[in-house]
Amino acid sequence: MPRSAGLGKSSSEGPHSLRDRVRAPAHRGRRPVRHARPSGPRARIVRQVAAARAAAYSPLVNDATLLAILLPVIAIELGLMIWALWDLTRPQRVVRGLPKAVWAVVVIFIGIIGPVVYMLFGREET
């Protein structure tokens, strides 16, 4: 099929074809050269700046800090939950608003707030 005038050459022809633009790696069978780590005052400053940036973006709370924060909270939550469930199971305890079984579900599944809500609104003083 003849080429139309004015449309130009196809992409596989000419000096700037795709085949001419693809280049083989420079080492061609040789191992690439590894350069030594730069040294000197400028390289030392670059390393110090990189270390300072890495320290600036490190997390403020690590595992030990998180554990130190969470252990007292977990202990308080478990203590409140055990106390509220013990109080609910006493036969002479009268509760307000909800049955004892529903209060037990509230105490167990709502965490710290559940036992506090039970103490404030669920217990009826006799």
Q: What is the pLDDT of residues 43-55, one digit of tens each?
A: 888 888 888 887 7
- Predicted TM-score of the model (pTM): 0.49
pLDDT at 19: 54
* Cβ atoms of 114 and 107 closer than 8 Å: yes
Instruction: Give the residue among 90, 93, 122 at the shortest CA–CA distance from 105.
Output: 122
pLDDT of 84 > 60? The answer is yes
pLDDT of 21 > 70? The answer is no
pLDDT of 76 > 90? The answer is yes
The 10s digit of each residue's pLDDT in 25-71 is 555 666 666 666 667 788 888 888 888 887 766 666 677 888 888 99
* Cβ atoms of 59 and 83 closer than 8 Å: no
